[in-house]
A and B are shown apart, each in its own frame.
Chain A
Amino acid sequence: MTRPLLPVATFVLISVVALDGQAGPPQAGTPATIPPSVATAAEKIANDPQILTLLKEQSTDAAATARWNQFLELVRIPSPSRQEHLKAAEIHRRLVDEWGFARSEVMTRADGIIEASDTNIVDGLPVYNACVVIKGSYSGRADAQHYKGQFPKVLVEGHIDVVNPEELPKTGDPSIRIKLQPYAQPVVATPEELAAIPDELSFDARGRIVENDKYAMASKVFANAKEAEAGGGVRIYVPGYGDMMPSTSNAFVLAAAMKKHNIKPVYDIWICGTAGEEGKGNLAGMKQLYGFDQKAGTGSNPLNFVANFGLEGGGTVNFLGSYRFEMKFKAPLPRGGGKGPSAPEAMAAAIAKIADVKTPSELRDGAPRTTYTVGRASCEPPPAGGTVVPSCSLEVDMRSPRKETLDEIRNNIEPMFQAGASAENARYGRKDGSPEGITLELMWYGLRPAFVADSVDNVAVHAGLQSGIQLGVLTSPMVGTGSGSLNDNVPANTGIPTYQFTLASSAAGAGGHAFWEWGTRGAPATEVARMHRVLTAALIVSGFHAADGTVVPPTIGPIGKRTREVVR
């Protein structure tokens, strides 16, 4: 579907509104003020016998192997942004067949619909989230409050989409081949070098890992790259190793363990693998969950989430905004056999101009870190027998933590689309906008709304920090002052408290978003420690039925925030 260029102006206004009203960010070193009740809850939950039994089981060699195998089996399922249905389907299947959930506890469907959401189609496509609920007790209370039928929920989420491959293969086995390379060899320089690596993991017809000698090689555990290099470690090349399937896979391990050990929250906890975090995904998965209308920049929070925990790491309260454009350069119809302006050359002119841009942070000391790239370009093939390319499209990403610098880079780059077309038209003496010239069309506009917190204090941050303090991984309640670009952008902009940590444990890794993305297995004990923290934090907010019969109450009221009312 195409759109005329005019809506760009509308989107400018909308995005300005969405980014408006932001106060100054918390100063570096600002501590959160954690209420004593949160510290008490953290101590109670972290030491609860039910929790400790769950963690003891996860600490066994068998559980570590099961987690590792599950990760390898899930990460090989290709899951391009907006084409996550294969991975979502496998998660749905395992939830019911293997992880102990009833079908009624699986909250997402193969067709991408969540019935209670008012945002089931994003950018014209279904949303392939995979979510399961750990039922809480709250809805059974006589005085339970709800938002239009939805009782309060805490969301724990990580994305299931991956940058590579770009598209699902049209034919054949789509599974990704996981290559293994000793550290002694250099990192691959080309996709051909990667494909030529002889050692790879094997899977049976059911998609289960074959525990052969290569598996043993890949499964060695190391503390860091130096130890891996010295100890016979390998780089395990697979898209999603770093971003972010180990953490998301372990989220479902945690869900299954909570179910098995009958961990009982007060509010429901949803554990989700989300769609659309990468590429043109436009945070589709989170927009469905939070009913986020990207044109209006508002979220209805139709499922009534009261807090969000992301699993991609970060520990930040500020979130980078981004503008993304897909622009099409359309060639004029050939006339009289003569040469005319070329779509690929117009696009090349635009990209070359953009390639020379320096960002505010490159131009001025102290300016917020601002980035851009022309991430992808493609052309329609010439019709059979012809040589004229009908059209070419480019995709640009721009990011900055502040509205002012984000708009500065946008105002610098956006005119270059037309400048490329104009330059090509000028080479042939054609007027811009005439039928004989290159024309420009906006194909897609992506908005990842920025968020700059005016306070470090909310229930998600408190629970996230205090769980770390309780478990000894943090020594003070300091909030990171950096900015992330994460799923959290959506809940933050909808008014929902959010915090991030990770469930992954990698000894080393690199190449994220590139063909050479790789990782090396880290300590399983680290994963268990991180499960402990995530579990503690989520239960602090949701509330928890402790083993001694007492109830740790939720730290937030039952009605989540929203910036528009639900429409359903």
Chain B
Amino acid sequence: MKRLIFSLAFIVGVAAAGTPVFAQQSRGLRVEFQGPGGHSSGAYGRVSALHAAARAVLLIQQALPAGSYQITNLTGGNSVNSIASDGLIELKLTAANAAAYQKLVAAVTKAAAEGADAENKFRGVKAGDLTAGAPATVRSVVKPF
């Protein structure tokens, strides 16, 4: 988990770097979720990366001011009869300046992590747990695009 937090912090830093400080900022952000996935029935009880992504969207709604973001994509999973191993939120953030933009990115990053945490908690798994040898939790990462 520590490594993930450092990674996210680094990404947020990179996202903010190279943007003019006082100009209005409007940029895209990808929020990726990764979980173990599996058979919808045989592996029932595993976390879903798509469920986590949806949970994160609702947290983004709560955390970001109206008009500061627009979700342009929500996708994940590979078939109706599988637990989704991947989830993706794409959104466009709009802020008055680089500092405000950085705050939005931080809020999205927090919401993504909390969405993943909520899914992990609902299914009773924690970092370090394995399912059939694979990481049992859903993890999030935020990337600018």
Q: What's the Cα separation between A378 and B76 when bound, in Å?
A: 7
A190-B80 contact in complex given A355-B54, A378-B75, C-beta closer than 8 Å: no
With a CB–CB cut-off of 8 A, which chain A residues contact B92? 387
- Flag whether B40 is at the interface (Cβ < 8 A): yes
Q: How far is the CB of B61 from chain A (nearest CB, A)?
A: 7
- Flag whether A250 is at the interface (Cβ < 8 A): no
Q: Which of B40, B77, B134 sits near A377, CB closer than 8 Å?
A: B77
Q: What's the Cα separation between A387 and B71 when bound, in Å?
A: 8
- Flag whether B78 is at the interface (Cβ < 8 A): yes
B41–A344 contact, CB under 8 A? no
- Flag whether A349 is at the interface (Cβ < 8 A): yes
* Segment of B13-21, B45-53, B96-104 in the binding face: B45-53
A189–B38 contact, CB under 8 A? no
Q: How far is the CB of B22 from chain A (nearest CB, A)?
A: 24
B57–A344 contact, CB under 8 A? yes
Q: What's the Cα separation between A377 and B75 when bound, in Å?
A: 5
In chain A between 434 and 480, which residues have their CB closer than 8 angstroms to a CB of chain B? 446
In the complex, which residue of chain A has the Cβ closest to the Cβ of B51?
A355
* Segment of A109-117, A152-160, A389-397 in the binding face: A389-397
Q: What's the Cα separation between A373 and B47 when bound, in Å?
A: 10
B58–A348 contact, CB under 8 A? yes
Q: Which of B41, B84, B86, B134 has the most CB of A within 10 A?
A: B41
Q: Give B105-132 as 1s and 0s: 1 = Cβ < 8 Å from A's Cβ atoms.
A: 0000000000000010010000000101
A379–B36 contact, CB under 8 A? no
A279-B79 contact in complex given A187-B132, A339-B66, A351-B51, C-beta closer than 8 Å: yes
In the complex, which residue of chain A has the Cβ closest to the Cβ of B54?
A351
A344–B82 contact, CB under 8 A? no
B80–A513 contact, CB under 8 A? no
Q: How far is the CB of A426 from chain B (nearest CB, A)?
A: 12
A355–B81 contact, CB under 8 A? no
B58–A352 contact, CB under 8 A? yes
A166–B50 contact, CB under 8 A? no
B41–A320 contact, CB under 8 A? yes
Q: What's the Cα separation between A81 and B78 when bound, in Å?
A: 11
Q: What's the Cα separation between A513 and B71 when bound, in Å?
A: 28
B82–A389 contact, CB under 8 A? no
Q: What's the Cα separation between A375 and B79 when bound, in Å?
A: 6
With a CB–CB cut-off of 8 A, which chain B residues contact A399? 40-41
With a CB–CB cut-off of 8 A, which chain A residues contact B73? 344, 379, 381, 389
- Flag whether A546 is at the interface (Cβ < 8 A): no
Q: What's the Cα separation between A547 and B18 when bound, in Å?
A: 82
Using C-beta atoms within 8 Å of the partner chain, give the interface range for chain B.
Answer: 35 or more
Q: What's the Cα separation between A382 and B28 when bound, in Å?
A: 14
Q: How far is the CB of A519 from chain B (nearest CB, A)?
A: 12
Q: What's the Cα separation between A392 and B50 when bound, in Å?
A: 14
Q: Interface size on A (CB < 8 Å)?
A: 62
Q: What's the Cα separation between A406 and B79 when bound, in Å?
A: 20
- Flag whether A514 is at the interface (Cβ < 8 A): yes
Q: Which of B54, B82, B134 sits near A375, CB closer than 8 Å?
A: B82
Q: Which of B34, B58, B79, B135 sits near A349, CB closer than 8 Å?
A: B58
Q: What's the Cα separation between A163 and B61 when bound, in Å?
A: 33
With a CB–CB cut-off of 8 A, which chain B residues contact A191? 86
With a CB–CB cut-off of 8 A, which chain B residues contact A355? 48, 51, 54-55, 119, 122
- Flag whether B11 is at the interface (Cβ < 8 A): no
- Flag whether A345 is at the interface (Cβ < 8 A): yes
Q: How far is the CB of A243 from chain B (nearest CB, A)?
A: 8
B57–A345 contact, CB under 8 A? yes
- Flag whether A278 is at the interface (Cβ < 8 A): yes
In the complex, which residue of chain A has the Cβ closest to the Cβ of B76?
A377
- Flag whether B43 is at the interface (Cβ < 8 A): yes
Q: How far is the CB of A436 from chain B (nearest CB, A)?
A: 17
A376–B78 contact, CB under 8 A? yes
B82–A163 contact, CB under 8 A? yes
B85–A345 contact, CB under 8 A? no
A513-B75 contact in complex given A348-B53, A373-B48, A374-B84, C-beta closer than 8 Å: no
A344–B80 contact, CB under 8 A? no
In the complex, which residue of chain A has the Cβ closest to the Cβ of B39?
A513
In the complex, which residue of chain B has the Cβ closest to the Cβ of A326?
B80
- Flag whether B24 is at the interface (Cβ < 8 A): no
In the complex, which residue of chain A has the Cβ closest to the Cβ of B48?
A373
B57–A511 contact, CB under 8 A? no
> Which 7 A-B pairs rank lowest in CB-CB distance, beginning with the nearest?
A351-B54, A279-B79, A348-B57, A514-B37, A376-B77, A355-B51, A510-B132
A-B contact pairs, 29 of them (CB 8 A): A163-B82, A186-B133, A188-B134, A279-B79, A347-B74, A348-B71, A349-B57, A349-B58, A351-B51, A352-B51, A371-B40, A373-B44, A373-B84, A374-B77, A375-B79, A375-B80, A375-B83, A376-B76, A376-B82, A377-B54, A378-B75, A389-B71, A389-B73, A395-B80, A397-B40, A510-B133, A511-B134, A512-B39, A512-B42
- A: which residues have CB within 8 A of B? 81, 163-166, 186-191, 243, 278-280, 320, 322, 324, 326, 339, 342, 344-345, 347-352, 354-356, 369, 371-379, 381-382, 387-389, 392, 395-397, 399, 427, 446, 485, 510-516
